[in-house]
A = this chain, B = another copy of it.
């Protein structure tokens, strides 16, 4: 590029991103892929994986000197591990796990009533194969005592204007449980992790909101209490729909960890036109947190009067550890009567959770975890 670089710009070193992204914030960079590209492949290509940065990207000068430190309560002697140590000392695992931003589908909650936050549509979610080591193995190697630990804190190399790093925490019971598959990963879809997704090391906490899956992680701190960071204490919390900015008390709610059941229609888009009787092909995704799988996706073309069960595209994962999303597809005839029709999708997970019909009961002032039935309006003419 011939353009002069503004060296005062904290974001000047950031890479070019995929031109197809819908950008919800340029600095820090937050963007989602177009819905059709999102579900084109079961594993989202790295270049199309949604990007949610809270701060400027860190500069990774020399990966050979990169270390992750593990210390805190329940650990007598802190340890520091280079990437090569992680790769040499621990069994390598690869899991497919979907990451979803707590703000996914905020734009739909906003239609119900105004909320604060980036205007994510349906694509603040993506699915990848992650390769690395299990945090439970690393904690065992550090001789960490679970019974002393309440929460495991993760710090990233990204820092805000006063130099304090991004930080979030998860419950110790999740971090120490080998069946929860919490991982420190150094590969994404078999490739080096792109800088936007945490190069050289990030945390994957399957089934949990993206905000806890800290990127560029270089400190893991075992603690009696949870992270006191802004992102843990004063954001990523949900309140009831009668709580507004005048009466909210962030100390009264728990930080969001596990995600509930979610689904969305990615094809067709709002406003598409069909001929009477023409075949409409509906496609989308469904996912549930906490390792729950998807049992069923039901689709309606008459506003919810009758329901059709979609064909599911799933991979085999162990029960209680279904970390990957489900893609779904169903072909249905457009009605013979002309006019606008509402297409709806909703899913059922292995715990028989249902999605709420609309935002009425789940609206919250930050517009988080909106998982109501997804509607798309199309026209038959």
Contacts and interface: CB of A to CB of B under 8 A. Distances in A.
Given A240-B307, A242-B307, A361-B373, A173 B354 contact: no
A357 interface: yes
Contact of A290 (B172, B346, B351, B357): B351
A171 interface: yes
Interface stretch (A77-85, A122-130, A313-321, A334-342): A313-321
A1 B171 CA distance: 57
Contact of A306 (B242, B295, B309): B242
Nearest to A350: B258
A238 interface: yes
A301 to B, nearest CB: 12
How many copies of this chain?
2
Contact of A289 (B351, B355, B358, B362): B351
B361 A346 contact: yes
A177 B174 contact: no
B356 A354 contact: yes
A364 B309 CA distance: 14
A369 interface: yes
A152 B296 CA distance: 24
Nearest to A170: B319
A304 interface: yes
A86 to B, nearest CB: 25
A40 interface: no
A46 interface: no
Nearest to A151: B319
A261 B261 CA distance: 12
A320 B289 contact: no
A292 interface: yes
A173 B260 contact: no
A309 B252 CA distance: 11
A371 B238 CA distance: 21
A50 to B, nearest CB: 20
A254 B295 contact: yes
B360 A241 contact: no
Contact of A353 (B261, B307, B360): B261
A298 interface: yes
A145 interface: no
A298 B177 CA distance: 32
A361 B173 contact: no
A372 to B, nearest CB: 9
A254 B373 contact: no
A260 B307 contact: no
Interface of A: 171-174, 177, 179-180, 238, 240-242, 253-254, 256-261, 289-290, 292, 295-296, 298, 304, 306-309, 318-321, 346, 348, 350-358, 360-362, 369, 371, 373
Given A173-B321, A258-B352, A290-B292, 5 more contacts: A173-B319, A353-B353, A355-B356, A355-B361, A357-B358
30 contacts: A171-B319, A171-B320, A172-B319, A173-B179, A173-B318, A173-B319, A173-B320, A238-B348, A240-B309, A242-B306, A242-B307, A254-B350, A257-B350, A257-B351, A258-B351, A258-B352, A259-B351, A260-B353, A260-B354, A289-B352, A290-B290, A351-B353, A354-B356, A354-B361, A354-B371, A355-B361, A357-B358, A357-B360, A357-B361, A361-B373
